[in-house]
Amino acid sequence: MLRLATLLATLFLFSLHLFAQNRITGTVTDATGKGIPGVTVTVKGTNTATQTNETGSFTINAPSNATLVMSAVGYSVTEIALGGQTSVTVRMNTQESALNEVVVTGYGTQRRRDLTGSVASVSARNFNKGVVTAPDQLIQGKVAGVQIVNSSGQPGAAAAVRIRGVASIRAGTQPLYVLDGVQLPGVDARPGSNLGIGTSPSTNPLNFLNPNDIASIEVLKDASATAIYGSRGANGVVIITTRRGQTGQPTLELSTSAGISTVMKRLEVLDGDEYRAALKQYNLTSGDFGGNEDAFDAITRTAYTQNHNFGIGGGSEGARYRFSGGYQDIQGVVRSSQMRKFTGNFSGNFTFLESKRLGLDINLLGTGIQENIAPISEDAGFQGSVIGQALQWNPTHPLRRPNDSIWRNHGLGATTVNPLALLEDWNDRAITSTLIGSISPYFNIVNGLQFRTLISLNKGFGNRRTMLSARTNIQGLEGIGAAGISNNELTTVQFTNTLNFNRQVTSAVYLNAVAGYEYYSTNARNFGVFGRRFPSDISLNYTNLIQYSEQSSRGIGSYESPVTELQSYFIRANANFKDRFAVTATFRADGSTRFGENNKYGYFPSVGFAWTLSNEDFLQGNATLSNLKLRLGYGAVGNQDFTSGASLNRIVFDQQSRSQPQFGNPDLKWETSITSNIGLDFGLFRDRLTGTVEYFIRRTEDALYDQEIARPGPPGRTWINLPGNIENKGLEVSLNGALARGANFNWNVGINGAFIKNRITGLGQQFFETGALRGQGISGATSQRIINNQPLNVYYLARFTGIDRTTGQSNYEGGDPANNKFYVGSPNPKAIVGFSTDATYKKLSLTVNMNGAFGHYLYNNTANTVLPIGNLGTRNIPKSLIGTGVLENTANPVAPSTRYLEKGDYLKLANATLSYRVGNIGAFRNVLISLTGQNLFVITGFSGFDPEVNTNAAVGGIGSFGLEYTPYPTARTILLGLNFSL
């Protein structure tokens, strides 16, 4: 048998040399004319194959009379006889149903027809376009029930990703990310910074990935799908699959783009003349310095962005490779801020032995990110960060003196900071490097049974150097200055052994099963130095001369986390009977070092069931209904994303002293989410209209929380499992339709929506405050609560009833706003929606992606404390405070209230791309030109920069949601791109 195979292979090899080889280029498009990436193109009867690039183009060497075979998941296999052509365009039709599509699920793949859980796939061709720094942005608005909120407009800003609502108070709420089988730790090594102006916001830990290297993203939403990840599956799982090399001659793909960004939306504050008029209206005699200055304009700019990528893929049957590199340079719209990213990626896929039973997959990834970070913080005090300072700047006072130097000793009070001075005096640079290597040998024991080992090492290094000049009039640092350097190191090791079985076992039963063992450990280390008192008359970077700092001002610190380990055993079996019924059973046992002696292990089972009704006799051959499948799932998943050491009494070291930070709890156990899911997949009119409707209930029990303890005790709180439940219930709908399908014109529309309700029960008397408010006049105030029978993060505020016409002071329901507060709304949207459409006419195509959220409230902390009426006479105020018919008293206090609570409803045109397929120009093949607009407009009543905002306002680690406080403004970007291959 083996000999015969060898003989045949040899014959094939010889046959290759018998015909003249031509270089064939081509494009594979779908019915709409849009390029399909990832199509395997094979020369019929040979082993020569390649894969289409992201624009659907390919290059292959083939005899001039050969036939090419195109195959891709979700499309019918298509053949084309070359007949002497060297350039071809092939149109592939979607398969009658996409059920043969293979979906990447945890520790293996499954056929979509076998799925019982809730799994959404987004492939490269449907990704969002534009300036993308992290992969979550690629699928924003694309998957029902997934809400992705960028915390601000800063390049690379962190995003809150919520899959089916939020189910945790204190443990993590972000999903687990899995990159080609490697689980990511969910944090990056970039050190934080807090120097003079408050805490610098964090960035997205997935920034290290080059979006150009990603082939598809799968989102696992319910327990039936995520239980295989057990204790890390509670918040959903996002599986990222990168692109692979294909057999054939090497192809080089190049893409380049450049663009310009401006601020998407500005806050309407008074200009110089309006300010003078307002002063007159208020009979204020001071505050007019005669000029006309736009400080916000002065700190922002038209910024330039460029992206360059290359990818080389190819190989023989036993050795495929892909090598890619990328360079991304994003200037921020706030002056001096910049993010530059260098990525390199190598993947190799090898098979050995005559039998090809032994294989080896290798992935290597290296990324360096350099950032120049603007002086913007999430909790700036009364002197603000550069955004607040610019908004407040008196528009009649010039920022620069007549001799063009920055006006530092200005007339606006000793504590008012000139934003240009802060920009000049601030230097904050971070370098974050990520190296991920994984090696995965496998052996096919018998047909359908595979043993695989994965060993991966993920190393992150972060360095940050921050300084503030002694020249700046920041209280306590004026004439003093400060500088800090910190270094982080993050190591994650994963070792996974799996045994996979995937085969039609009888004519009626298809079995897909996986069993495995996994070890996972993370380790974090940091070291930092800090010093104050530097000369104000030198322009050198203080971080380069930190030894000059006053000895007594120096701080130094180092820390290494406890060994954090997870050890797991898991099994999943999926059986499909006659393509009618499918059953999945999953079980995972996870042990973690983080938990108490009494509860080290957690057990996470789930079951799922699917019934393909359209394959039943009574629906078979139905002209309208081409697919109908009912899915049911139930299971438990866990969450262990909280700090180490909580189960033990610990002693920590401070300067010459020791203390116990908190009590340990030996009974600490896993937080568990129980999810029930019912889903209906359908296809109508030969799948021209497809869709999914799902209803889920997600109930979190034993929520991890660091509870207030009966004092006296150590300063910190104690981790316990709360008696309460957090419940998310929701309905998800997604629909895709081909509105026009023709030779020249095609039009597709996709919409998705989710309607989610969130509530806490069983907490008893306890409640927790969060949503810290920042800025002048509001110290210690909070805006949100975690309390029984209310949604998570419900707003708890005084009710503003208007401004008194006679006193000009605010009125509140019940009198004193300090003692009359009410539950007044939720920051969690009732509905999140996504909308995408693409239309193609001949070689021209247009893609539009929109997303929105409705039924929630945002707290405008910027309006509350940065721009109150009391600024008038020294600093600026918003236009909306003038000409309202009521003269608000400049002494009206800034009490937090519903006055600053705004409806957060929005619909955003996230990106639109117009592209033109030029074709081949000489040696340049598959040339594509595209023009992308990002954040083109947003429809909203929210008065801040961007309704998609989430400034971190956590209190004692309890997360906040939906607050805006002088964030980095969102950019609108226009990007011109060129793709081609050689």
Least distance (Å) from another protein to the CB of residue 297?
24
Q: Which of residues 830-859 bind another protein (CB under 8 A)?
A: none
Tell me: does residue 780 bind another protein (CB under 8 A): yes
Q: Which of residues 730-749 bind another protein (CB under 8 A)?
A: none
Burial (CB < 10 A; 0-12, 13-18, 19+), residue 271, is middle
Residue with smaller CB distance to another protein, 855 or 957:
957
Question: Whose Cβ is closer to another protein: residue 235's or residue 871's?
Answer: 871
Residues 57-116 that bind another protein (CB under 8 A): none
Distance CA 587, CA 635 (A): 9
Centre a 10 Å sphere on the Cβ of residue 924 and count the other Cβ atoms it contains. 14
Nearer to another protein, 405 or 819 (CB): 819
Q: Which of 19, 310, 443, 854 binds another protein (CB under 8 A)?
A: 443
Q: What's the closest the beta carbon of residue 845 comes to another protein, in angstroms? A: 49
- The one among 29, 126, 592, 973 contacting another protein by CB under 8 A: 592
Among 449, 511, 630, 929, binds another protein (CB under 8 A): 449
Task: Indicate the DSSP class of residue 611.
Answer: E
555-560 and 509-532 strand pairing: antiparallel
- Binding region for another protein (CB under 8 A) out of 67-75, 443-451, 606-614, 922-930: 443-451
Beta bridge partners of 358: 352, 443
Site for another protein in 167-206 (CB under 8 A): none
Stretch that binds another protein, among 75-83, 585-593, 693-701, 931-939 (CB under 8 A): 585-593
650 touches another protein (CB under 8 A): yes
Measure the CA angle with vertex 19, ends 15 and 22; round to 5°: 125
User: Taking CB under 8 A as the criterion, which residues in 239-298 touch another protein?
Assistant: 284-287
For 775-793, letters b (16+ CB in 10 Å) and e give: bbebeebbbbbbbeebbbb
- Token pair recorded at residue 302: 């038209």
Answer yes or no whether residue 889 interacts with another protein by CB under 8 A.
yes
- Is 710 among the residues that bind another protein (CB under 8 A)? yes
Tell me the C-alpha distance between 259 and 936, whole Å: 14
Q: In this chain, which of 10, 15, 355, 553 binds another protein, going by CB under 8 A? A: 553
Please identify, among the stretches 328-336, 341-349, 473-481, 749-757, the one whose residues bind another protein according to the rule CB under 8 A.
473-481
Which positions from 500 through 529 interact with another protein, judged by CB under 8 A? Answer: 515-517, 519
Nearest to another protein of 282, 968 (CB atom): 282
Residue 870 CB, nearest approach to another protein (Å): 3
Residue entry with tokens 């009977």? 577
Check if the beta carbon of residue 399 is closer than 8 Å to that of residue 393. Answer: yes
- Residue 568 CA to residue 587 CA, distance in Å, equals 10
Instruction: Report the alpha-carbon distance of residue 170 to residue 958 in Å, rounded.
Output: 5
Nearest CB to another protein, comparing residues 199 and 561? 561
8 A C-beta contact, residue 118 and residue 696: yes
Q: Name the minimum Å distance from CB 168 to another protein.
A: 21
Least Å distance between CB 873 and another protein?
Answer: 4
By beta-carbon proximity to another protein, the closer residue of 404 and 816 is 816
| Residue 766 binds another protein, judged by CB under 8 A | yes
Cα separation, 311 vs 318, whole angstroms: 20
Residue 607 burial (CB count, 10 A): 17
Does residue 647 bind another protein (CB under 8 A)? Answer: yes
Q: How far is the CB of 444 from another protein (least distance, A)?
A: 10
CB of 347 to another protein, least distance (A): 25
Give the closest residue to 99 by CA, choosing from 110, 85, 87.
110
543: alpha, beta or left, given left = phi > 0 and alpha = psi -120 to 50?
alpha
Token reading at 954 = 């956590």
Nearer to another protein, 555 or 941 (CB): 555
Give the interface segment with another protein, choosing from 270-278, 423-431, 708-716, 839-847 (CB under 8 A).
Answer: 708-716
| CA pair distance 877, 863, nearest whole angstrom | 9
Which residues touch 460 (CB under 8 Å, ≥6 apart)? Answer: 188, 189, 208, 432, 433, 434, 435, 488, 489, 490, 491
13 contacts: CB under 8 Å, gap ≥ 6: none
Least distance in angstroms from the C-beta of 477 to another protein: 8
- The distance from CA 800 to its chain's CA centroid, rounded to whole angstroms, is 36
Establish if 778 lies at the interface with another protein (CB under 8 A).
Answer: yes
Subset of residues 781 to 840 that bind another protein, contact rule: CB under 8 A: 781, 807, 809, 816-819
- Here the tokens at position 735 are 């629909």
- Compute CA distances 233 → 102, 152, 389, whole Å: 21, 27, 43
Phi and psi dihedrals of 493, rounded to 5? -120, 135
Segment contacting another protein by CB under 8 A, of 34-42, 65-73, 557-565, 930-938: 557-565
Assign 853 to helix, strand or coil.
strand
CB of residue 878 to another protein, shortest distance in Å: 13
Applying CB under 8 A, does 593 fall inside the site for another protein?
Answer: yes
Peptide bond between residue 250 and the one before it cis (omega within 30 degrees of 0): no
5 Cβ neighbours under 8 A, 6+ residues apart: none
- In the bound state with another protein, the residue whose beta carbon lies nearer, of 167 and 894, is 894
How far, CA to CA in Å, does 726 sit from each of 570, 583, 792, 796?
27, 29, 8, 19
Task: By CB under 8 A, tell whether 656 contacts another protein.
Answer: yes
Of 854-873, binders to another protein (CB under 8 A) are 865, 868-871, 873
Instruction: Give yes or no for residue 547 binding another protein (CB under 8 A).
Output: no
Q: Which of 77, 280, 355, 559 binds another protein (CB under 8 A)?
A: 559
- Among the listed residues 302, 415, 624, 880, the single contact to another protein using CB under 8 A: 415
- Closest by Cα among 940, 945, 785, 972 to 860: 945
In angstroms, what CA-CA distances link 393 with 286, 791, 866, 894, 906? 15, 38, 10, 19, 29
CA 234 → CA 221, 304, 672, distances in Å?
A: 9, 40, 7
**Site residues (CB under 8 A) for another protein, limited to 560-579:** 560-563, 565, 567, 569
Q: Which is nearer to another protein, 189 or 238 (CB)?
A: 189
Of 449 and 978, the one with the shorter C-beta distance to another protein is 449
Residue closer to another protein (CB basis): 285 or 539: 285
313 binds another protein (CB under 8 A): no
CB of 396 to another protein, least distance (A): 13
- SS3 state of residue 189: coil
By CB under 8 A, is residue 714 in contact with another protein?
Answer: yes
The residue (of 86 and 659) whose beta carbon lies closer to another protein is 659
Min dist CB 955 to another protein, Å, is: 10
3-state secondary structure of 13: helix
Q: Which stretch binds another protein (CB under 8 A): 302-310, 702-710, 831-839, 843-851?
A: 702-710
# residues contacting another protein (CB under 8 A):
107
Q: Is 893 in the site for another protein (CB under 8 A)?
A: yes
Region 607-636 residues binding another protein, contact defined as CB under 8 A: none
532 counts as binding another protein under rule CB under 8 A: yes
Is 475 an interacting residue with respect to another protein (CB under 8 A)?
yes
CB atoms within 10 A of CB 444: 18
Residue whose CB is less far from another protein, 467 or 773: 773
**CB-hemisphere CA count at 13 Å for 512?**
22
Which of 10, 86, 779, 880 touches another protein by CB under 8 A? 779
Residue recorded with tokens 């721009």 = 867
| Continuous segment of H or E residues that includes residue 14 | helix 2-16
